[in-house]
Amino acid sequence: MDALGAMQAAIRLMVTFDPQFLQIVGLSLRVTLTAVLVAAIIGLPLGAWLALARFPGRTALIVVINGLMGLPPVVAGLVVFLFLSRSGPLGPLGLLFTPTAMIIAQTILVLPIVIALTRGTLEELWQEYREHLTSLGLTGWRAVPTLLWDGRFALATGLLAGFGRASAEVGAVLIVGGNIANYTRTMTTTIALETSKGDLPLALGLGLVLMALTLAINAAGYAASRIGTRFAG
């Protein structure tokens, strides 16, 4: 096994548009993007609520959510697995070993990041905007659209961080997806599989593709924050 072989494998995968490879990349993106989107739909309002509401136990809740940002993917996967298994509470849905199960697991991984980041961003903005928005009658829920829009660059960076976490993880999707060929096989589970088959050049080649993807996403995140700084001051 050598680095050259890995590079060759990576380039061959990309330039030949190998249908199976494209299917794997497509599934990875579909699962992760959907998970990030669902996490955003749930997490943005929850984060906003946490930023603006005051209630007993709020600090504890914030600490728990910050802690969940470091939730090991395997644990998230195991919990989802136990719920979705035919012998689990959601068994009748028959979702285990499907892309939907992987989306659920990754949503759980991304959600704390989205909530925590939204909370932090909006709380800071609210500190700054409070008097002006109150003056305009925009308090409570009525302040949220303004705060979300004005925090858009920071929030975009956070969603990209969530995307990075979800696209890089293997533990959760392996457990709940089952790594079924042509169905729930993602880039990371393929890398794990090819490694176990000893096809290290292919595994590393896929790894390079994944890294290129991650790099592109981080570049986008950096660009977003740069534009944000330029625009928002």
Partner 1 sequence: MHGMPTILPLQVEGLTLHRDGKRLLDGVGFALPRGGVTALIGPNGAGKSLTLRLCHGLIQPDDGTIGWAIGSGRIAGRPRHAMVFQRPVMLRRSVRANLVHALRALDFDQPEHRAGAALARYGLADLAERPARLLSGGEQQRLAIARAWALEPELLMLDEPSAHLDPGATRQIEQIIAGLAAEGMTILMTTHDLGQVRRLANRVLFLHAGRLKEDAPAEQFLRAPASPEARAFLAGDLLW
Partner 2 sequence: MIDRKMWLVLGLALVASGPAFAQGTPAERFITVSSTTSTTDSGLFTHLLPLFKAKTGIEVRVVSQGTGQALDTGRRGDADVVFVHARAQELKFVEEGFGVERKPVMYNDFVLIGPKADPAGIKGGKDIVTALKAVQAKGSLFISRGDKSGTHSAELNLWKAAEIDIEKVKGPWYREIGQGMGAALNMASAQNGYVLSDRATWLNFRNRGDLDIVVEGDRRLFNQYGVMLVNPAKHSHVKKAEGQAFIDWLVSPEGQKAISDYKIGGASLFFPNATQPGA
66, containing H or E segment = helix 58-68
Q: Which amino acid is at 154?
A: A
Q: 118: closest CA among 145, 69, 154, 68? A: 154
Residues from 115 through 144 that contact partner 1 (CB under 8 A) = 128-129, 131-138
Among 61, 150, 193, 225, binds partner 1 (CB under 8 A): 150
C-alpha torsion angle, residues 40, 43, 49, 52 (rounded to 10): -70
- Could you say which of partner 2, partner 1, none residue 217 binds, taking C-beta under 5 to 8 angstroms by partner kind? none
Shortest Å, Cβ 135 to partner 1: 6
104/161 with CB nearer partner 2: 104
Check binding of 217 to partner 2 (CB under 8 A): no
Whole-number Å distance between alpha carbons of 204 and 211: 10
Q: Which residues contact 205 (CB under 8 A, 6 or more apart)?
A: 6, 7, 8, 9, 10, 11, 12, 13
Eight-class DSSP state of 199: -
- Could you say which of partner 1, partner 2, none residue 12 binds, taking C-beta under 5 to 8 angstroms by partner kind? none
Interface positions with partner 2 (CB under 8 A): 1, 30, 33-34, 37, 40, 85-88, 91-92, 94, 96-100, 138, 142, 145-146, 148-149, 152, 178-181, 183-184, 193, 195-201
Interface positions with partner 1 (CB under 8 A): 128-129, 131-138, 146, 149-151, 228, 230-233
